[in-house]
Amino acid sequence: MGVLVGKKAPLFEADAVINGNEFVEKFSLEQFIGKKYVLFFFYPEDFTFVCPTEILAFQKRIEEFEKRDVVVVGCSVDSVHAHWTWLNTELKDGGIKGVKYPLVADNSKTIAENYDVLAGEYDYDEETDLSVFDGDPRAYRGLFLIDKQGVVRHQVVNDMPLGRSVDEAIRIIDALQFHEEHGEVCPADWKPGDDAMSETAESVAKYLASH
């Protein structure tokens, strides 16, 4: 599937932990269509090293997402019980206690596969007559901004050692919402308060001349 930008975000139903300690069955992004933007991100694995820095960084800025009408949702291939245990482990002990946004359990790896961030694939071994996994059965650090119509408007996928920027995620949200409100397009490194452009040669020339 590769690039999902401009396409409907793949929907799913899966177990999740919400509010840090509540188990939910059949959690779905569909509940937010028509109501909220969704920042849906994958991380490789619970109880690792780079992952908690990202997960906690999103939680620290959660009010900034909420005031932009954005729901943050995380996902990995771990079980819902692993999520719950990690969410209820103190930070000093390697946990992520205090994180309140949903963490989805993608045990089957189908969500990661549908978003094309699974670091491998299943294959059939004729000798053993078994299905085997070729690669690393975890997700890359994929991040998807989904608008209120359920369409992916931005995606970025990092390799596992490379943490993402929360600032950049917020900047992209601001740019999308500015474009939706004003109809103008946002040039390189645009942030709120900067000049934007209309989609005309004159507007681009004027912008470039003044910058």
Tell me how far apart the alpha carbons of residues 134 and 31 are, in angstroms, rounded to a whole number.
34
Instruction: Kindly report the backbone phi and psi dihedral angles of residue 205, in degrees, each rounded to the nearest multiple of 5, phi listed first.
Output: -60, -40
Asked if 64 and 192 touch (Cβ cutoff 8 Å), the reply is: no
Tell me how far apart the alpha carbons of residues 19 and 193 are, in angstroms, rounded to a whole number.
34
Please give the full DSSP string across 124-173, using - where no structure is assigned. Answer: EETTTTEEEEEEEEEE-EEEEEE-TTSBEEEEEEE-TT-PPPHHHHHHHH
Query: Which position among 51, 96, 111, 166 bears the catalytic label?
Result: 51
Neighbouring residues of 191: CB distance < 8 A, sequence distance ≥ 6: 171, 174
Is-catalytic flag, 51? yes
Residue with tokens 């291939």: 77
Query: 3-state DSSP call for residue 67?
Result: coil
Tell me how far apart the alpha carbons of residues 42 and 51 are, in angstroms, rounded to a whole number.
10
Catalytic machinery residues: 51
